[in-house]
């Protein structure tokens, strides 16, 4: 990072523009990696929630199909009675 050195009444910057640019790029890279990590965590959470929803509705669908089949199977026996 840039450092200022006071010599008399004059301030002198001791870092070059390249060092400042490098430091700036390093900060941006850290921010980018942090954002990617956060996005990944959110995606995993969403995928987990969607998987739970899918599992729940497939189970409910299977139960409904079984109940419907059972109901249809009972109809002929009730008609005979």
pLDDT over 90 percentage in the chain: 58
Give the per-residue pLDDT at 30. Answer: 98
Q: Residue 4 forms beta bridges with which residues?
A: 13
**Residue 3 pLDDT level (bands cut at 50, 70, 90):** low
State the residue for tokens 């009675």.
81
Give the per-residue pLDDT at 27. Answer: 97
**Residue 47 pLDDT level (bands cut at 50, 70, 90):** very high
What does the pLDDT average to over 7-22?
71
Distance of alpha carbon 36 from its chain centroid, rounded? 9
Give the per-residue pLDDT at 73. Answer: 85
pLDDT over 70 percentage in the chain: 74
């Amino acid at each position: 990072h840039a450092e200022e050195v006071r010599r008399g009444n004059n301030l002198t910057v001791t870092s070059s523009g390249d060092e400042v640019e490098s430091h700036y790029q390093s900060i941006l890279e850290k921010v980018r990696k942090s954002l990617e990590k956060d996005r990944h965590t959110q995606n995993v959470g969403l995928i987990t929630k969607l998987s739970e929803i899918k599992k729940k509705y497939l189970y409910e669908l299977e139960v409904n199909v079984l109940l419907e089949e059972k109901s249809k199977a009972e109809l002929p026996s009730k008609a005979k009675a």
